[in-house]
Amino acid sequence: WFEATSTALLSENCASPAFQVSPRLQQDRHAGVAHTDRMARERLLLRKIEAMRRHHMSLADMADVLEIEPANILILEGRAAGTVPVLGEHTMKWNYAFEFVVHTAEAVVTLQLKSLTEDAKTTVLGTYSITAADLGDPEDSIRTIVLDDKIRV
């Protein structure tokens, strides 16, 4: 989900609040699987991955043997190390409008992309700020935002 704030609001009593939140998307990819069961499965997979790495197996061969996607092996290893690697380029299409009534084109709108970690804590995945003047024409407001190369969990 996104959270948005703006500076230079026209009035504290205006219809657009200074802090706005987009709807949250469903994140639980393991619905119906208990957290402890999932963690036990991940520990077992990590032990198998470590054994295969000791025998210098390729990522593709490990994925074939474990019957999982190669990217999931990297995610499991990253999670064990305390980070989750961002694999390749990810594109998120977002069509949710935040509306702020501001009194100057120098007003700054700040967006924060947020997520929940495995233990249900909120984490900020990235922050993007832009002035009202730089937003330009609403019909041409597509932006590419680059986040850090690793997301801490």
Beta bridge partners of 114: 124
Tens digit of each residue's pLDDT (9 = 90 or more) over 33-80? 455 677 788 889 999 999 999 999 999 999 999 988 888 888 888 766
Which band of pLDDT confidence, cut at 50, 70 and 90, is reported for residue 81? low
Q: Which residue has the tokens 């409008």?
A: 97
Is residue 99 within 8 Å of residue 22, measured between CB atoms? no
Which band of pLDDT confidence, cut at 50, 70 and 90, is reported for residue 150? very low
Tens digit of each residue's pLDDT (9 = 90 or more) over 89-108? 556 667 788 888 888 989 99
Tens digit of each residue's pLDDT (9 = 90 or more) over 126-143? 788 889 888 876 666 666
Cβ-count burial 11-24 (b if 16+ within 10 Å, e if not): eeeeeeeeebebee
* Residue 55: both structure tokens together: 């025998």
Which band of pLDDT confidence, cut at 50, 70 and 90, is reported for residue 151? very low
